[in-house]
Amino acid sequence: MYDNLSLDLLPKIVPSGVSRMNVNKIQKSLRTKELGKKILFVNKVDSTNNWAKDLAELGAPEGTITIAEIQTAGRGRFGRKWISPKGGLWFSIIFKPKFRPLEAVKLVFVASLAVADFFSKLYGLNVKVKWPNDILVNGLKVCGILSEMSTSGNEVNYVVVGIGINANFDVENAFPEKLMDVATSLKKELGKKVKLEELFKALLERIDGLYEQYTHEGFVPIIEKWKSYAAFLGYTVQVTSGNIMFEGLALDVDTEGALVLRLKDGTIRRVFAGEFSLKYDTVPLRARIQ
Ligand code: BT5
């Protein structure tokens, strides 16, 4: 079905508008194995994840990317709103991995490691990751990742990994008051704008390389590198999962991608999905346990 459609003409998901990002140029110079075989850019879309999921349903191949200048209904996890003004980098990647669902959910770590590495090594920023999907610069959220999967039994049909980076906008103009203390942009932290096309291309190459590594060497090298950016390990954290709230020492993120907590009563609890907040006033575990 996909082969018979011109993607650029799909009316529901591709609004009209002149492309302002030169994706053809990016595509030509891209050094990737899987990602970016097809890059679709529009000025405005509801959500690049919605768009990518529609395309994946139509049979779009692995490595297809959707990217937009503005998202009118950008989404976070659990249906939360993701503010996506002009100047940000909002894109989604279609993966069709040969993994089982339990392996495929860990692609979120591949993406966040790529972003963290890039911000740290190329921009020299103080980068931390927050389990499971946030990238923080100087303690403030600069990037969020939303991974959505379609399965049939124990088979993965596709995974769409959406990456949102607050790049070149002024947070004062874009964010409501309540986000000012928790979120930031690259522009603010670097004191200048970044080159969006370069950032996009380099990230695709980095994610592609790590995806290949994950496929061939497994998850251990990925999670070990990811943990080198994890500031919360050794701290008391609160995890809210559904209606349940746990508080405990964050001991590890294990090879399943689960957060391993030691609760107050000494029991060990593994948490697979949820939301946690750090208690910044606590003392690192390393300082407490001798
Ligand atoms: C996330 O959710 O952090 C995942 C965000 C993924 C966004 C990308 S953009 C491309 C693709 N297309 C989509 O529609 N989504 C993906 P979560 O952990 O649930 O965080 C959401 C919360 O972060 C919100 O409830 C706000 O408090 C806050 N927030 C909203 N917009 C933000 C922004 N631009 N920067 C930082 N924090 C934000």
Q: Which atom of ligand 1 has the smallest separation from the CA of 141?
A: 36
Centroid of chain to Cα 159:
12
What's the confidence (pLDDT) of residue 78? 86
The Cβ of residue 19 has, within 10 Å, a number of other Cβ atoms equal to 14
CA distance 188 to 137: 10
Instruction: Give, using CA atoms, the residue closest to atom 27 of ligand 1.
Output: 179
Question: pLDDT digits over 214-263, tens only?
Answer: 999 999 999 999 999 998 899 999 888 777 888 899 999 999 999 999 99
How does residue 210 score in pLDDT terms, banded at 50, 70 and 90? Answer: very high
pLDDT value for 274: 62
The response to whether residue 144 sits with its C-beta less than 6 Å from ligand 1 reads yes
pLDDT of 176 reads 95
Supply the pLDDT for residue 258. 92
**Mean pLDDT within 81-99:** 97
pLDDT at 141 over 80: yes
User: What confidence score (pLDDT) does residue 193 get?
Assistant: 96
Q: Which residue has the higher pLDDT, 14 or 171?
A: 171
Tell me, what's the pLDDT at 19? 52
Q: What is the pLDDT of residue 246?
A: 84
Instruction: Report the Cα–Cα distance between both ends of the chain, in Å, rounded.
Output: 61
Split at pLDDT 50, 70, 90, the class of 285 is very low
DSSP string of 61-103, one letter each residue:
PTTEEEEEEEESS-B-GGG-B----TTSEEEEEEE--SS-HHH
pLDDT band at 23; cut points 50, 70, 90: confident
Average pLDDT over residues 265-284: 69
User: Whose Cα sits closest to atom 11 in ligand 1?
Assistant: 162
Task: List residues bridging with 182 in a β-sheet.
Answer: none
CA-derived radius of gyration, the chain: 19
User: Strand pairing partners for 94?
Assistant: 160
Question: Hey, whose CA ends up nearest to atom 20 of ligand 1?
Answer: 76
What's the 243 CA to ligand 1 centre distance in angstroms? Answer: 21
Asked whether residue 276 carries a pLDDT value surpassing 90, the answer given is no
Tens of pLDDT along 74-88? Answer: 999 988 999 999 999
pLDDT at 166 > cutoff 90: yes
Query: Is residue 108 helix, strand or coil?
Result: helix
**Ligand 1, atom 2, residue with closest C-alpha:** 76
Ligand 1 lined by 112 (C-beta under 6 Å): no
Tokens of 253: 């993120």
In the numeric block, the tokens 């947070």 are attached to 171
Q: What distance in Å separates the CA atoms of residue 63 and residue 78, rounded to the nearest whole number?
A: 25
In contact, 69 and 96? CB cutoff 8 Å: no
Q: Please give the Cα distance from 137 to 143 (Å, whole number).
A: 9
| pLDDT of 21 strictly over 90 | no
Is any ligand 1 atom within 6 A of the Cβ of residue 30? Answer: no
208 contacts 33 by C-beta, under 8 angstroms: yes
Arithmetic mean of pLDDT over the chain = 88
Write out pLDDT tens, residues 173-206: 999 999 999 999 999 999 999 999 999 999 999 9
12 near 47, Cβ under 8 Å? Answer: no
Q: Is 83 in the pocket of ligand 1 (CB under 6 A)?
A: yes
Angle, to 10 degrees, between the axis of helix 196-217 and the axis of helix 220-227?
130
The percent of residues above 70 in pLDDT, for the chain, comes to 87
Ligand 1 contacts CB of residue 66 (under 6 A): no
Q: What kind and span of H or E run contains 207? A: helix 196-217
Comparing 40-49, 52-61, 158-167, 230-239, the range with the smallest average pLDDT is: 230-239
Answer yes or no: is pLDDT of 10 > 90.
no
Q: Which of 115, 109, 144 is nearest to 214 (CA)?
A: 109
